[in-house]
Structure 1
Amino acid sequence: MKKIIIIWIVLTAISTANILDEKVRNLMQESNYQSHKKLTKILFRNKEQFYKNEKLNLPKIINTLKENGLLKLNHSIPKKMELGFKVSKNPIKTIKIVEDIFKSMGYYYIFTKKASLTKDGIFVWTINIQTKNMPDPSELIKRLYNQNIKVVDISRYGKNSMSYELETSYSRITAMQVVPSNKIVNLKKPFKEYFLSISPDSYEINIKSNNQDRWYPYIVYFDINLQVLKVIRKKTKIKKLATTIPTATRYIKIGDNFNLKNIKTGLTVMIK
């Protein structure tokens, strides 16, 4: 019995070491790994320190590589970078969150290369960005975590391609304005469309534009997963609008049907 336990412990230790080594090797890429093999073995010799709850501690692994100049993310000239995201739940909401995160990191031009659903129901979203620097994985992990999204795994496919597996069951959008019920809220000059979070029992929204503006309403209602419930577009100028909020609405996007300059002094809203 003791021999069996010892064998099991040894095999577990070997497996744990192999998984860590493979991940480090993948993130560094083969030629870089071979050039710094001795240093890598020293840095990751205490393998148990790079695990958390029996799983790889990806932030610690990545930060260790970065701090020692072993994670090559930069180029001398702009290159086409490819990033993939694998999501099992809330794909539309995840796209919104990831796009906002990239913009906050300075990546404004994001092009969808492919969006597909696997036989297992996994949504795979692949994007391209033109940049000198591959988005920093540790920064991306941190910002996703702030939106209640956990990075389960990261894989690298060459210098210019990375894939992220995400757990999004409890994701939330923080880049929005929370509007309480039965209170008048003044929305300031918009630099992009307003994105509001409302109470699940809300049933009516009242919107008023300022006298000096010319508002042509554009309103989109979303559920908790950012599925579109209803869209309102008006081609005529309106000063006041009161409309029913669809059942299950949690988010509302408000803009102008033609140009945000038409509401340059903002809007006033009240949710009932």
Structure 2
Amino acid sequence: MVRIFFFFLLLFSFSYGDKLQSTADGDLLIKKIKSLINPATFAKDRAYIDTIFSPKEDYFTSDGKVNSLKVIKTLKENGILNLFFKKPRDINITFKTQGEPQFFVKIMSDSLQNVGYYRYVTSESTLSESEFVWKISLTSEYAADPLVLSQELKKSNCEIIDIIRENETDWAYVVDMKNARLDVSVLE
């Protein structure tokens, strides 16, 4: 009798285990979407969001993390993510990496200038054993577009691996610069 019980338990786990994992993954995706848009927009567009983010599995990386850039791209393409303000506002952007700090600041400075941000102030920089954090402040009529910034960073072989929107004007980017290089021409 006990063997039969465990057999059915095992059969049940194989049958429904993938659905339970899918639900957990869907919750991670919804949590990421909620963090990127304001609550009123999420509530108003919930049914539409469920439709455009189907199948949910398409929005995860191979290691099971939410692909923030793909989520942002879908939100922008469907008019749900608004990066513009009614008037210029102070914006705070945090960049985190595990690479060499001076090299990272050079790459980020060049990338920011190439996307139109010339006037910013370093508000904080910290170096620990595990990561370098660089925080900047600037005034702008719109938040930095993560997709444009990502394309610019790709020119230096850097990749944005996560994006966190703390509020409307505070954003954080986690940048992988394992294969980083300067985007400059080689003189012969």
TM-score under structure 1 length normalisation: 0.62
Rounded Cα–Cα distance in structure 2 between residues aligned with 1:6 and 1:81: 48
Which of 94, 113, 117 pairs up with 1:84?
94
**Bigger Rg, structure 1 or 2:** 1
Which residue in the other structure is 1:136 paired with? 145
Residue 169 of structure 1: how far off its partner (Å): 1.1
**Is the 8 Å Cα contact of residues 154 and 163 (structure 1) preserved in structure 2?**
yes
Which of 148, 151, 158 pairs up with 1:149?
158
Larger strand proportion of the pair: 1
Which residue in the other structure is 1:116 paired with? 126
Rounded Cα–Cα distance in structure 2 between residues aligned with 1:5 and 1:111: 54
Which residue in the other structure is 2:111 paired with? 101
Rounded Cα–Cα distance in structure 2 between residues aligned with 1:121 and 1:173: 23
The CA RMSD measured in Å over matched residues stands at 1.6
Tell me which moved more, 126-135 or 30-39: 30-39
Residue 95 of structure 1: how far off its partner (Å): 0.9
SS in 2 for 1:163: strand
Residue 50 of structure 1: how far off its partner (Å): 1.7
Work out the percentage of aligned pairs sharing the same amino acid: 26
Residue 42 of structure 1: how far off its partner (Å): 1.6
Does residue 1:31 correspond to 2:44, yes or no?
no
Does residue 1:61 correspond to 2:62, yes or no?
no
SS in 2 for 1:18: helix
Which residue in the other structure is 2:187 paired with? 179
Runs of 4+ with >6 A deviation? none
Structure of higher RCO (CA pairs closer than 8 Å, 6+ residues apart): 2
Unaligned runs of 5+ in 1: 181-272
> Residue type of the partner of 2:136?
I
Residue 31 of structure 1: how far off its partner (Å): 2.6
Rounded Cα–Cα distance in structure 2 between residues aligned with 1:159 and 1:97: 25
Larger helix proportion of the pair: 2
Rounded Cα–Cα distance in structure 2 between residues aligned with 1:147 and 1:177: 12
Rounded Cα–Cα distance in structure 2 between residues aligned with 1:81 and 1:87: 20
Rounded Cα–Cα distance in structure 2 between residues aligned with 1:29 and 1:165: 21
SS in 2 for 1:178: coil
**Is the 8 Å Cα contact of residues 155 and 164 (structure 1) preserved in structure 2?**
yes
Residue 67 of structure 1: how far off its partner (Å): 1.3
Residue 94 of structure 1: how far off its partner (Å): 1.2
